Structure 1
Amino acid sequence: MVDMVNMPYALVFGSVTVLGLPLNAVSLWILLRRHSLKSPSAVFMVNLAISDLLLVISLPMRVYFYATGTWPLSATACVWIMILFHNNIRSSSIFITTICVDRLLAVVYPLRSRHLRTSSNASKAAALVWLLVVVVSIPESVDLTRFLRGNNESTCFEFNRPQRSGMAYFQPVLVFTMLVVNIVCTALVSWTLRTHLSDSARVSNKVNVMLIFVMNLVMFTVFFFPVSLVVLFDSWRPASTPLICLASVNCCLDPLLYYFSLDGFWARKEDVDTTLARVRVSDNNRWGQ
C-alpha cells in the first residue's frame, strides 16, 4: 500500500539514489584510473567517494519504507542502514576537512608542507578516520538495537529514543569542530590570496581555489550541521526526516568538489603526473632548491 504522506521523502531518497550512484561510481573510477593514489587530495577524495557510495546503497530501503510505510527486514538491518547514514555524515565531514587542510597547506605553505603532504600520510590518516567511524558505530548500534527491541519493526527510521546516550553528542561536537577548522582554513587561504605572501604558492585560478572552500562551508552549514543537532533539541525532532533527506543530497554534490579540487580531473594520469613534475621543477628553480 502506498503511503502518500511520506511519498515526498521516498521521491527525494529515490532521486538521490538515481543521481548519486552513477556520479560517485564514475568519480571513483576516474580518481583511481586517472589520478591513482599519488597525491593526498586524491587519497581523501577516493575515501570520500567510498563513503558516499556506502550511503547511496542504503537509500533504496529508505525509499521502500517511506513509499509503503512498512519495513520488510529485521531490526538489525534497520540499525545498520541508520548507522551507514550517520557514518557518512561523520566520515564525509572529516574527509572534506582534510581536503580543506591539504589545500590550505598547498596554497599557504607549499614548500614547508611537502614532507607532510604525501600519499602515505594521507592513507594513514584515512585509515584512522575509518577506524574512528567503526569504533563509534559499535556502541551506537548497540544503543539503537536496545531501543528498537520490543518495538514493531515498521517503526524503522521513525522511532524516538526516550533518552540520550553519551554517543548522541559525539556527532554534533565532531561536525562543529570540523566546521570551525573549515572556517579558519577558508579565512587563511582568502587572506593569503589577497596579500600574496612570499612563501605562498602561485595560484593560477584563485576563483576555483576559493570555490572549493565555499563549497565545503555550504556542505557543513546546509547538509551536516542541522541534521546533527536534531538529537540535541526535542523541538527539532519533527523535522528530523526532512533534514535527513536534505543531508543525503550531499553525496550528489561531492563530485563537484573533485572536479574543482584536482587539476585536469578528466585528464589522463600520465598527463597529470607530467604537469605536476613541471610544477615541482619550476618551484625548485624559483626557490633555489
Structure 2
Amino acid sequence: MTNLTNSTCIAELQPSNRFLASAVVYGLVLAVGLPLNTASLWILLRGHGLRSPCAVLMVNLAASDLLLALSLPLRVYFYATLQWPFGVGTCTAAIMMFRVNIWTSCIFITLISLDRLVALVFPLRSRSLRTSACACKCCAVVWIIVTILCIPSIINMHRRFNQCANYTPCFEFQVLDMGKGSSPIALAQAIFLLILLVINIVSTVVVIVALRKRPSAGAAKVNNKMNVILIFAVNMLVFMIFFLPFALQLLAYKKDGGGETLRALICLASVNCCVDPLIYYFSLDSFWQDKGKKQTDVGTYSLSRSMERS
C-alpha cells in the first residue's frame, strides 16, 4: 500500500497490480500514440503546411499530443520499477507536459469545432477572420497562456519535490498534488472543461440542423456531410470519454477516497492522443494525399462553397 505522510513525500512504494496496470496502459498509449502522432504531424506539415486555419489548428493539436507521447516512457519506467533516478526537474517537466496537453488539446479541439461551424454557417462573411495568420496567432496565445498558468504549479511542485530527500514519488505526487490543490482552482478547471464541452455540443447540434436544411445533390455532397458530422462527433466523444470524467472527478475529489479513481482517469485522459488523429482524417479531404494533387484543403469549406452555389 502507499503510505502518505503529512508532507509531499510518500514512503517507498511496493509493487501492486495497480502500478502494473498503469505501466501497461501507458505503454500501449506510447506504442500507438507516438508513431500515430509523428506520422500525422509529418503528413499535415508535408501535405497541408499552414495554408488553412484548420490545418494550423490540427498541426498544433498533433504537436501537443506528440509532447504527451514523448513523456510516456518516463511514466512507463516509473510504474514498472517504482523507482525514479532522473531527478526532480525531469519529473516536474514530465508532469507538466501531461497537464499542458490536457488543456491545449481541449482548447484546440474546441477551436477546430468552432472553425468548422463558422466555415459552414458563415462561409463568405468569415473569410476575413478564417485565415492562417489568425489561426497561428490564436494558437500562439493558447500556448503562451497555458504555459504562464502552469508556471506557479511548476515552481510549487519543484519546491515540494525537493523536500523528499530519500525518495521521489514522481507521478504518484501528481494525484497528491491535485488533492492538495485549492478547491477554487479545481472548481475553475472543471468549469472551464465543462464550458468547452458545452461549446462542442452546441456546435454539433447547430451543424446537424444546418446540414438537414440544405439539399444533398450527389454522392459527393452526402459523403462530405457525413465527414462534417463525424468531425463534430469525434470532437464531442473525445471530450465526453476522456475529459469529462476527469473534470467531474476534480469537483468530487476527496483526499481520502478519490485517489484511485483520479489515477485511473489520468490514465484514461492520456488515451486521447491516440484518438485525435481521427479528427485530421475526417476534417481534411486530402489528408492522405500529397500536396501535388489538386484537392480541396478543407472538407467542410468545400462543402459550404458548393452549397452556396446551389
- TM-score normalised by structure 1 residue count: 0.89
1:74, 1:153 within 8 Å by CA — same for their partners in 2? no
**1:16 equivalenced with 2:24 (yes/no):** no
**1:260 equivalenced with 2:279 (yes/no):** no
**1:194 equivalenced with 2:212 (yes/no):** yes
Question: Aligned AA for 1:205?
Answer: N
Is there any run of 5+ residues in structure 2 with no aligned partner, and where? 1-12, 216-220
1:205: Cα distance to partner? 2.1
Match of 1:123 among 128, 133, 136: 136
What is the CA–CA distance in structure 2 between the aligned matches of 1:46 and 1:68, rounded to whole Å? 34
Aligned length: 281
Aligned to 1:213: 232
Q: CA distance change for structure 1 residues 153 and 189 in 2, over 3 Å: closer, same or farther?
A: farther
Question: Aligned AA for 1:154?
Answer: T
Offset from partner CA, 1:91-135 (integer Å, 9 cap, x none): 000000110001101111111111111111000000000001110
Task: Compute the RMSD of aligned alpha carbons.
Answer: 2.6
**1:72 equivalenced with 2:85 (yes/no):** yes
What is the CA–CA distance in structure 2 between the aligned matches of 1:203 and 1:132, rounded to whole Å? 40
What is the CA–CA distance in structure 1 between the aligned matches of 2:208 and 2:308, rounded to whole Å? 26
Aligned to 2:260: 238
Q: CA distance change for structure 1 residues 45 and 7 in 2, over 3 Å: closer, same or farther?
A: same
Question: Aligned AA for 2:274?
Answer: C
| The 10-residue stretch of structure 1 (45-54 or 213-222) with the greater mean CA deviation from structure 2 | 213-222
Offset from partner CA, 1:221-278 (integer Å, 9 cap, x none): 11112223444321432212211111111101111110011011111223246677x9
1:218: Cα distance to partner? 1.0
Match of 1:185 among 171, 182, 203: 203
Aligned to 1:94: 107
Match of 1:164 among 157, 161, 181: 181
After superposition, residues 17-96 of structure 1 pair within 5 angstroms as 17-96=30-109
Aligned to 1:175: 193
Aligned to 1:3: 15
Is there any run of 5+ residues in structure 1 with no aligned partner, and where? none
Aligned to 1:250: 272
Identity of aligned residues (%): 47
2:22, 2:76 within 8 Å by CA — same for their partners in 1? yes
3-state SS, counterpart of residue 212 of structure 2: helix
Aligned to 1:154: 168
Q: CA distance change for structure 1 residues 108 and 156 in 2, over 3 Å: closer, same or farther?
A: same
- TM-score normalised by structure 2 residue count: 0.83
